[in-house]
Amino acid sequence: MTQFTIPYKRILLKLSGESLMGKDHFGISADACLEIAKGLKNLTERGIEVGLVVGGGNIFRGLQGEKLGIERARADEMGMLATVMNGIALCDTLRHLQVEACVMSAIGCYPIVEPYDRQKACSLLEQKKLVIFVGGTGSPFFTTDTAAALRACEIKAEILLKATKVNGVYSKDPLKYSDAVRYEEISFQDALAQKLDVMDATSIALCMANRLPILVFNMQALGALAQVFSDKNLGTLVH
């Protein structure tokens, strides 16, 4: 594979829980975890400091709990616990590949995983250790997208990578509309005004206020993590 220079020293990657399912319909796929871990290892081997926020939708969603009669706040807390399980799975897969990694949780799960500590996280990143942030923001009613934007700002990441199922941001859902137009880049203001499916409004507003660019890309593309910075067809830059 051709090597190229990645223009960022520190990044924050947001992964959905569904990305860990692979071809399965629920739970965690060992094959999917391994492929993701290989992509992350490729980045760390290039000297990139990598923070990672992972969702929990492959195991449980807060909105799903509401349908079961569970109070929304409690259902969101169940979703936060799901992200902890995903973080542990990814961390151990990375360690199997000889990548130094740790999991930090915004909710109390010690001694299973460490509590979130911003200064310690930054120190670990400087030591080229990959840090996985789980537990969302630690509060209900906030998405893991918001958690990703928050952690990216806190660790002073230079860019937030949002992994999706399509190659960037479109004028409308490309899986439903054949005439959907893909943007190579777009401003925060336009993304908000057009209510485009980038991240939730809270996340975009936080990134805009802190001048943190977002790169929305197709995680399912072969070798996406290795090529996302060099192939503009893989994603959309929101800035």
CA 26, CA 65: separation in Å to the nearest integer?
16
The structure tokens listed for 201 are 């409004």
pLDDT number for residue 2: 46
Please check whether residue 11 is in contact with residue 48, taking contact to mean a CB–CB distance below 8 angstroms. Answer: yes
| pTM across the whole model | 0.93
pLDDT, tens only, 69-81: 999 999 999 999 9
What single-letter amino acid sits at 194? Q
Domain definitions of the chain by residue range: 10-238
Query: Nearest-CA neighbor of 87 among 52, 121, 122, 40?
Result: 52
Residues of the chain short of pLDDT 50, as ranges, are: 1-2
* Fold (topology level) of 10-238: Carbamate kinase (3.40.1160)
Please check whether residue 93 is in contact with residue 81, taking contact to mean a CB–CB distance below 8 angstroms. Answer: no
Helix (H) or strand (E) holding 204: helix 201-209
pLDDT number for residue 227: 78
Q: How many CA atoms lie within 13 A of 46 on its CB side?
A: 22
